[in-house]
Structure 1
Amino acid sequence: MIRCIAIDDQLSSLQGLEKYILDTPNMRLVNSYTDPVLALKELSRAEPVDLIFMDINMPQISGLELAHAIRGKSRKLIFTTSHKEYAFEAYEAEGDAYLPKPYSYAKFLVTITRLFGNDYEASENNLANSESFLVKNKEEDHRAIMVKYADIIAFESFHNYVKIHTDKKIIIAYLSLKDVREQLNISKQFIQLHRAYIISIPHIQHIEGQRITLTNQLSFNVGDIYINEFKEFYNERVIISSRKK
């Protein structure tokens, strides 16, 4: 887990950065500041973190001055600023990266991956290999809910969200099925046989022709583009008597 601090006197910029951090797996925002003087006071006696994001052009004390004072409190330091002329000074202040505003989420993610490399990838692998994961549930004011893979019946695409059907309730998360495939451990226990569903194999109740019914009575026909994968899946598991009729 990459533990982060964000410092920016512009509230809108800070909120955008906070969202990027919250939307990125294996990153956690420890604290954020719009007041660089308060940041200096608190961070000087706080435990070190993995990463500090810092604006450069701030009142009372600049990001460059603040960086010199608290550089030892972070493994990595990323300067964020709309003033490109500060690039050289940023590196002089031992900055590890420089994100000129406005920067996209893609640019943000590329920078994080470049700085943390194997550490970040290892964290992703830990998430994929775990038996459960946390997801924010829209139906519970976006509270983070712990979900066990064993409890999941299906992931269902639902407008801009994904419904996670479990044996206890339905969780609605701001995800796509692409996010599910890329970030979660669905390689063995789950299969996608329809563009709108990723299903748990142990929760298949019965198959009739090309129609699949799950233990919660969710039912669908295999999608045309998944026919070959379905046939392979079915033939590997169906038991047929060897006796002659």
Structure 2
Amino acid sequence: MKIGIIDDDVSFSTQLKNKIKTSLYFEDAEIVVFNEKFETLDLMDYEYLFMDIMLLQTSGIELAKKVKNKQTKIIFVSANEALVYDCFDIHLYFFIRKAFYEEDFKRLLLKIEKDEAESNKQYLLDEKNHQYIRCVDIYYIQSHRNVCTFYTKDQEFQQYTTLKKCTEYFCSNIAFYKINSYTIINFKYVTKINHQSVTLLNQQTFNVSRKAKDLIEKYHTYRRYIQ
């Protein structure tokens, strides 16, 4: 595991590095600290990036937008917690307040543990053939008559079931939302959203039903949950 710390505050970045090194979850990680020349950094191979939002040389938010590896978990660190509201267009994993970084770091470890358990949760597609799919991998689900198709990044899976049954199963999880009479989306992969349409990471765009009045509220609830 490779971890990057990007912060022009040398003292705090040293404290944070020591905190990370002493945690059991990150004990074998390679930790690299950057205190300057942020615009020239190659950030492709990091599993976690701890980034100060207010860097003297550049904006941490703009730097985060340049991270091309969608698997990288971006954790913003700031002395101003109100800045979290500027981060909704970033695939932000967590937000640490510098004034409470030890407390927030504990919350981060709890979130990682919970997310790893959730990422291993599977949905049974075919009982006869013992075929499962990881719930976290599902971009969206669409129904046609009594067949539901489950779309992941690279594959499609079909099951003879109704969208009503899928809604009862998946939408109890705040990551999933039924946006119209035949589509359930995973908020995890949303890149654009408004009351009329939703676009996912795979560039697929869907119309939103007028019945989905709490869509934006549910999306922000999900975003608050993952931070």
Classify the TM-score, shorter chain: 0.3 to 0.5
Superposition TM-score, scaled by structure 2 size: 0.45
Larger radius of gyration: 1
Structure with a larger share of its residues in helix: 1
